Every structure is written in structure tokens, then in C-alpha cells.
Amino acid sequence: MKKKILVLCTGNSCRSQLAEGYLKFFCGDRAEVYSAGIETHGVNPKAIEVMKQDGIDISSHTSNHIDEYKHINFDYLITVCDHAQENCPFFPSQAIKLHHNFPDPAKATGTEEEVWQQFLLVRNLIKSYTEHFVIENLK
């Protein structure tokens, strides 16, 4: 039976979208992967572009609210920012809860190149985290 994984962030626009993209890539058909936010901000265009640069297309992803998934019994709930972990409303699930706080690339400041470098950094951190998650949990 496929595992069900939910990645949760504040606005479901960057970090959770990157994690969803990589988890789908690394899991293949071993899991159903979803992402959501405690708010919805739309998918950040730079998140789409930084993933495209690594060969993963998340352009069809949507920004979803956690309430949309209350009916799904998840095996894993991964929060990717402290704000989501601290402010997540009650979510009826027996899921194994994991947390890793990644910097928010959407809040990066500086030149266009400096902002882009932050997106690359966060993408690579999330790629490494998700790859290790799959190796450790979906054998």
C-alpha cells in the first residue's frame, strides 16, 4: 500500500512546493505526496523556475489549504517551517510528524542574483532532506 505524505508550510508557495516536487520524484510510485499551507499564497514563480532548472516540473502545482486534506489519513506529516509547526490547527491524523525549518527564499532580499542564490540554496537543502527521508522511511 502506498504511503501518504503531507508537506506543510505557511503559505504553500515555496518550501512545501519544492518538497512536494522532490518527494514525488524520489518516491516514484511508492507514495502519494501532497502539500498544503496554513494559508494559501499561490505557487511562487521562482520556485517553479528553480525546480525546472533541476529537471522537475511543478508548474501545475496549486497552493492548497490544510483543511482540504482533513479526510486523508496520512502516514507522514512533514512541516518545513517553524511557523507552520507552531501554528498548525488541529489536524486529525495518526501520521508520524517530522519537522525541519528551512529558510524562506521568498523573503530573500538583495539583488536579483542574491535572491536567486537563496532559492538555489533552499532548493538544494530540501532536495537533500527529501532524498534522505525517502531512503530512511520508504525502503
Which residues have a catalytic role annotated? Answer: 9, 15
Cell 512533514 maps to which residue?
Answer: 78
The continuous run of DSSP H or E covering 53 comes out as: none
Q: What is the DSSP string of 56-110?
A: ---TT----BGGGGTTS--SEEEE-SHHHHHHPPP----PEEEE-----GGG--S
- Which helix (H) or strand (E) segment holds residue 39: the answer is none
- HSE at residue 70, side-chain half, CA atoms within 13 A, is 9
Q: Which three cell numbers stand for residue 97?
A: 510528524
